[in-house]
Structure 1
Amino acid sequence: MKISSSISLKPFNTFGIDARAERFAVLRSEEDLRAILRANIAPLHLLGGGSNVLLTKDLPGLVLRNELKGIELESETGTDVLISAGAGEVWHDLVMWAIDINFGGIENLSLIPGTVGAAPIQNIGAYGAELKDVFEKLEAYHLETGERMVFKSEDCRFGYRNSIFKNELKGRCLITRVWLRLTKTPRPNLSYRILADSLRNKGITQPGIRELSETVM
């Protein structure tokens, strides 16, 4: 892993703020992460898609940008599938991947900015759906102990745009991978009235998940 010095963070945050990182590295494997934790560089700042961060000053220590990639079909039954995605994947790209294969469950969450790893931190939600509805588990590393940890849904303490990662474990864990359970027989969630009305106004009475996603966008 290459560690660079005095790097502008302007390309890495959606506000385009030209704060600088004393040191900067891109995380592309768990081996890289373990090496960083062994080096005990402090302070350590975690950066995902940069869509939910407001930089007000230069950052000392190391800024670590999470680019852990990869989407996998882990298992399937006659009715559902278990998929996993690296925490550095763009969330909307994962939604489009699922729609292309006709796996349902996250289409209402189309176009939400950020990465897969940020999704459980916020328990992202929109148009009558939340991440917790399809969440199975995640893997993370404790930044202080280096321990690899698995969190199931109940461990995450999901609430409205909230989780344990915004409270007791805020800034103390780096999420590496997320597992979601999706359906092979999608039934679009039209519980959000504005969404249902928008589809009806388009003359779509029996939408598929792609039509629903396009309406969300």
Structure 2
Amino acid sequence: MFNLIKRDYIIQKWQILIYALMVIFFVLLGRHDAYFIFLLASILVPVNMIAYDEKPETNILLNSLPYTRTEIITSRFLGTIVSIIFSTIVTSILLYIFNKPFSITDITIGSSLALLLLSFYLPLTYILKPGYSAPFALVSFLILAGIAPPIVTYLGGKLTSVTDFILNLSVPIFYTSALLLGIVIYAISWGVTTFIYQRKAF
């Protein structure tokens, strides 16, 4: 499975450089919160990896290799986690180099949102028609980036008891809860995607 993950990065070696330049652009632009930059950096590589693999001929090739379908999906989900970790490290370094403020909270929010979005996106890529997943991801991300902050602000003002409860949580409990919730949703997505892929015909 390590070779499958390695393959994804070899295929995208030049695109990864472009993604790094994109992240630098948003860092220098200074018009977005740090968590947004962490979120953007975390989803670029996984979405492009999936765009490569959604082609029927690619899946036929993958299934001709000495790997089970379960192992193929496992490599995809593990590769996504590796990508999020790597992207978070690189983004943190870039923010530090360009003297842009960020915190552990920004990292937690950005990474958790990336994990959540990809948890829903990964199973959909094996349901949607080939060629539709990348545009779907782009449109969904733009819509989310536009409407999520106002919705969160609105709900925060209306659901004051929930907001007060979250704000009163200690930092370790908050981070641990967010991490556990992300892991549970990601694990469910992993299982659902494996189920779909094992029954998909190529």
Q: TM-score range by the shorter chain?
A: 0.3 to 0.5
Write 1 or 2 for the structure with the bigger share of strand. Answer: 1
